[in-house]
């Protein structure tokens, strides 16, 4: 009987990564010392700070894996991994560039025209433009093939009509990729879908805020009424939207943000309990750290597979399922270990971080595909469906 299931090759980081890591740490401690950001839970969704993103860009830490000819830095996926995990561990406000850096850039590089690459990629690397994701709709969450936003052929381009929902930071981003139905729904639900690069300031677009549980405004409803998109802003091939989106999801699901959203809270727990915690607390810290360390090894393996040019979509789905459950496990354990009063108005840091973690938690296991859908991906790989 050989090894069943899904295998992950252990990965180790090359020495260049540790040099880079110390540079990022130095930068972050300077930023913190200067009071330029406050560490928060889930700040890769909530912390939209264009200036912070531009300071990262100035250090060469946006668009790291993009080729130099498009303004990128030609660095490896593992080097980018190190930068992202350091930013997440610090609870830094990275939401402005996160989507563009993580998936828009690689997607443009893979499917974009030469003109699109030359136009967008340098701006993405310098932090001049920010992207949002336009996949979900009122009627389609994880079931992306059911999108109903229509793209209609018009002179010189397409007219887009429909509504995108849960579009994080659409009110502050410049562009988004919208997945649309460009041909009537037929037998094959995955056919007839296309992606368009849409300027969020285009005539015909109305953006309505959809506040989340903290009261903050990240989500939006983006209503498009015959929004004109020129042929030059079609992404990839008309009708190939499903394949393109699927490859984008591998990037969306594989990163350390899928298990580190509540890391600032875990770190604050250590600060609050001090160097000689009671036995119950020490055990909880040990168990949470063990899960974190194991997840990190798994996530690094996925990053190394991406670096080798593989498509580790099943492994990424599995890590995201485990990782996002861990994110909630952190606050479920913390709240039972300390005398707490979670509140967004709290003066005590741990109460504030706990409040952020709890109120953001429903998103952890939804965004990027629900855990149930991800397990379906794993089950298929196991030959069960």
Partner 1 sequence: MSDDTRQMLLDTLERVLTDHCTAERVQAADQGGFDAALWQTLEELGYPLAGLPEQAGGIGLPLPDLCALLRVCGRHCAPVPLAESAMLAAWLLADAGLELTGGVLAVAAADSKQVRITPQGSGLRLAGAVSRVAAARHASAIVLLLENGGACQVVVLHPTDYRLEVSDNLAGEARDDMHLDLTIDAGRLHAAAAGVTLEAFHARAALLRAALMTGALERALQQSLDYARERKQFGRALAAFQAIQQQLAILAAEVVAANAAVDHAAAVAETGPALDEIAVAKIRAGKAAGIACRIAHQVHGAMGFTQEYSLQHATRRLWSWRDENGTEAAWALRLGQRLARAGAAALWPLTTASGAVAD
**Minimal distance in Å, beta carbon 312 to partner 1?**
12
240 CB-contact burial (10 Å; exposed 0-12 / middle 13-18 / buried 19+): middle
- Cβ proximity to partner 1: between 276 and 345 the closer is 276
Euclidean distance between CA atoms 6 and 72, whole angstroms: 33
Q: Which range of residues in 3-11, 144-152, 160-168, 361-369 is near partner 1 by CB under 8 A?
A: 3-11
Q: Does residue 1 touch partner 1 according to CB under 8 A?
A: yes
The answer for residues whose C-beta is within 8 angstroms of residue 285's C-beta and 6 or more apart is: 269, 270, 273, 277
The answer for residues whose C-beta is within 8 angstroms of residue 138's C-beta and 6 or more apart is: 163, 165, 221
- Vertex 131, ends 127 and 137: CA angle to 5°? 165
- Cβ proximity to partner 1: between 107 and 324 the closer is 324
- Cβ proximity to partner 1: between 170 and 330 the closer is 330
Stretch 271-330 residues interacting with partner 1 (CB under 8 A): 271, 273-277, 279, 281-287, 289-298, 301, 315, 318, 321-322
Among 85, 101, 313, 327, binds partner 1 (CB under 8 A): 85
Euclidean distance between CA atoms 340 and 355, whole angstroms: 10
The neighbouring-strand residues paired with 222 are 164, 207
Q: Does residue 337 touch partner 1 according to CB under 8 A?
A: no
Span between the terminal Cα atoms of the chain, in Å: 22
- Cβ proximity to partner 1: between 225 and 372 the closer is 372
Q: Which range of residues in 106-114, 156-164, 207-215, 266-274 is near partner 1 by CB under 8 A?
A: 266-274
**Minimal distance in Å, beta carbon 6 to partner 1?**
6
Asked if 137 is an active-site residue, the reply is no
Tokens of 260: 């580190």
- Cβ proximity to partner 1: between 1 and 34 the closer is 1
Euclidean distance between CA atoms 164 and 187, whole angstroms: 24
Q: Does residue 12 touch partner 1 according to CB under 8 A?
A: yes
- Cβ proximity to partner 1: between 166 and 364 the closer is 364
Interaction mask 89-108, partner 1, x per CB under 8 A: x-------------------
Q: Which of 252, 257, 268, 327 is catalytic?
A: 252
Interaction mask 224-263, partner 1, x per CB under 8 A: ---------------------------------------x
Tokens of 133: 């994701």
The answer for residues whose C-beta is within 8 angstroms of residue 357's C-beta and 6 or more apart is: 41, 42, 261, 262, 265, 327, 328, 330, 331, 334
Nearest one of 116, 152, 145 to 131, comparing CA atoms? 116
- Cβ proximity to partner 1: between 95 and 315 the closer is 315
How many residues sit in the footprint of partner 1 (CB under 8 A)?
62
**DSSP assigned state of 225:** E
Residue the block writes with tokens 């952190």? 330
Among 59, 68, 226, 375, binds partner 1 (CB under 8 A): 375
- Vertex 189, ends 187 and 192: CA angle to 5°? 95
Which residues are marked as active site?
A: 252
Interface ranges with partner 1 (CB under 8 A):
1-8, 10, 12-15, 17-18, 21, 85, 89, 263, 266-268, 270-271, 273-277, 279, 281-287, 289-298, 301, 315, 318, 321-322, 372, 374-376, 378-379, 382-385
């Amino acid at each position: 009987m050989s090894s069943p299931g899904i295998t992950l090759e252990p990965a180790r980081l090359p020495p260049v990564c540790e040099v880079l890591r110390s540079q990022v740490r130095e930068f972050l401690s300077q930023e913190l010392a200067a009071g330029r950001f406050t560490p928060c839970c889930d700040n890769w969704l909530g912390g939209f700070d264009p200036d912070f993103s531009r300071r990262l860009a100035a250090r060469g830490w946006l668009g790291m894996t993009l080729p130099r000819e498009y303004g990128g830095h030609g660095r490896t996926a593992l080097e980018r991994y190190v930068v992202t995990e350091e930013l997440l561990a610090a609870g830094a406000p990275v939401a402005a560039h996160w989507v563009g850096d993580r998936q828009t850039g690689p997607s443009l590089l893979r499917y974009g025209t030469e003109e699109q690459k030359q136009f967008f990629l340098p701006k993405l690397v310098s932090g001049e433009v920010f992207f949002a994701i336009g996949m979900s709709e009122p009627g389609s969450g994880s079931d992306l093939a059911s999108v109903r936003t229509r793209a209609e052929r018009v002179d010189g381009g397409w007219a887009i009509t429909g509504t995108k929902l849960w579009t994080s930071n659409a009110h502050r981003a410049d562009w988004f990729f919208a997945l649309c139905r460009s041909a009537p729904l037929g037998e094959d639900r995955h056919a007839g879908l296309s992606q368009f690069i849409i300027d969020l300031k285009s005539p015909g677009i109305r953006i309505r805020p959809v506040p989340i549980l903290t009261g903050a405004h990240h989500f939006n409803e983006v209503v498009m009424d015959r929004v004109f998109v020129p042929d030059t802003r079609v992404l990839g091939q008309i009708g190939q939207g499903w394949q393109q989106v699927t490859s984008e999801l591998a990037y969306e699901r594989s990163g350390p943000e899928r298990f580190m959203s509540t890391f600032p809270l875990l770190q604050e727990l250590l600060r609050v309990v001090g160097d000689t915690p009671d036995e119950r607390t020490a055990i909880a810290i040990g168990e949470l750290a063990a899960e974190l360390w194991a997840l990190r090894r798994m996530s690094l393996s996925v990053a190394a597979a991406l670096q080798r040019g593989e498509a580790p979509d099943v492994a990424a789905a599995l890590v995201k399922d485990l990782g996002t459950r861990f994110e909630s496990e952190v606050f479920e354990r913390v709240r039972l270990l300390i005398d707490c009063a979670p509140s967004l108005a709290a003066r005590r840091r741990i109460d504030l971080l706990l409040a952020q973690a709890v109120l953001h938690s429903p998103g952890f296991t939804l965004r990027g595909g629900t855990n149930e859908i991800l397990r379906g991906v794993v089950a298929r790989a196991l030959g069960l469906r």
